[in-house]
Amino acid sequence: MKLRLKPCLLLLCLLLLTAALSGCSGGDKRIIRIGHNQATDHPTNIALLAFEEFIESELGDKYDVEVYPSELLGSQTDMVQLTQTGAIDFCVASNSILETFSRNYTLFNLPYLFVSSEAYHSAMDDPAITEPIFESTKQAGFEAVTWIDAGTRNFYTVSTPIESPADLKGLKIRVQQSPTNVTMMSLLGGSATPMGFGEVYTALQSKVIDGAENNELALTSNGHGDVCKFYSYDMHQMIPDILIGNCGFLDSLSEEERAIFNEGFKIVNTVEREEWGKAVDAAKERAANEQGVTFLYPEVQPFQDICTPMHQELIASNPDLAPIYEGIQSWNAAYAD
């Protein structure tokens, strides 16, 4: 079993106190705090360390970047709130979590939205698609500065192989805290159990839940494969992670500094994507060979047929999202499987 850190409230209080008192320490340098919920060997952490190195190489006389992994600054929801108020400057949040801060984010949470990873990547790299969504939380005090690949989400369970939606019936499955994920789970027949990422391992181990859904790295990096023995490629979602920044901090940067930060945000995206493919291959191998996880490849269509009505329901209740949804369909057409 992997040792995992719980949110360290004492550290958080100390950080907030320091921030409140000065916003600076280590001489005259402005400390930039970035929080996320992944382990230190995860592609997200590797990418944020590359960002730290880049910013400090360009602007090291003025800024000192500190990256806090493993929910050290709290759960994703906590960290988004800290970023909103400016208690910290950046955090990585799953797009799922952001849905409760701006309805626009619901779009990227739709099951079976993208037909292939090429379509997904191209759509997320297309500013016509991301900008209206990324900027929609400015009034709430934060904005998205780049997206981060988090692969494809699939179901995995302690002991029930999921070969078709019928196998989910009666199972308690952890989902992220987002209304879209709860709806998706109910449509598929399972019982949705929303909870923060850091609580999932214990919930699986104590059998409070029968399974969860996530990319392959959750099996290894988070140890879920120690408990869950069946991972089933139903391919229900490609949900990006989003690096968000406090607007007050971003607006305080000079034009030249902002250009350097923008370069840094691109580095986060590029480095993480380079690391992602390697990390998934390594996770699959370790899960199969060391944790005894069986990978299943069910027919995807029955899962997809149940979920796709969610698309039209979202567009009908949010017509302003229609042009963005159509833009995604163009990428789907260009990169159909």
Where do contacts with ligand GCU occur on this chain (CB under 6 A)? 37, 76, 94, 150, 176, 197, 214, 218, 241
Cβ proximity to ligand GCU, 39 vs 123, nearer residue? 39
Cβ proximity to ligand GCU, 70 vs 76, nearer residue? 76
Amino acid identity for residue 118 in this structure: E
What angle in degrees, to the nearest 10, is found between the helix axes of 127-134 and 117-124?
60
Cβ proximity to ligand GCU, 143 vs 241, nearer residue? 241
Q: Which of 137, 43, 35, 15 is nearest to 92 (CA)?
A: 35
Nearest approach in angstroms of CB 150 to ligand GCU is 4
The string of DSSP codes covering 89-156 is SEEEEEHHHHTTT-GGGHHHHSTT--SSHHHHHHHHT-HHHHHHHHTTTGGGTEEEEEEE----EEEE
* Chain position carrying tokens 């149940």: 306
Nearest approach in angstroms of CB 214 to ligand GCU is 5
Cβ proximity to ligand GCU, 30 vs 273, nearer residue? 273
Cβ proximity to ligand GCU, 154 vs 214, nearer residue? 214
Cβ proximity to ligand GCU, 155 vs 197, nearer residue? 197
Nearest approach in angstroms of CB 298 to ligand GCU is 21
Q: What is the DSSP letter of 5?
A: P
Distance CA 29, CA 87 (A): 17
Nearest approach in angstroms of CB 336 to ligand GCU is 26
Nearest approach in angstroms of CB 218 to ligand GCU is 6
Contact 190, 242 (CB under 8 A): no
Q: What is the DSSP letter of 192?
A: E
Nearest approach in angstroms of CB 239 to ligand GCU is 7
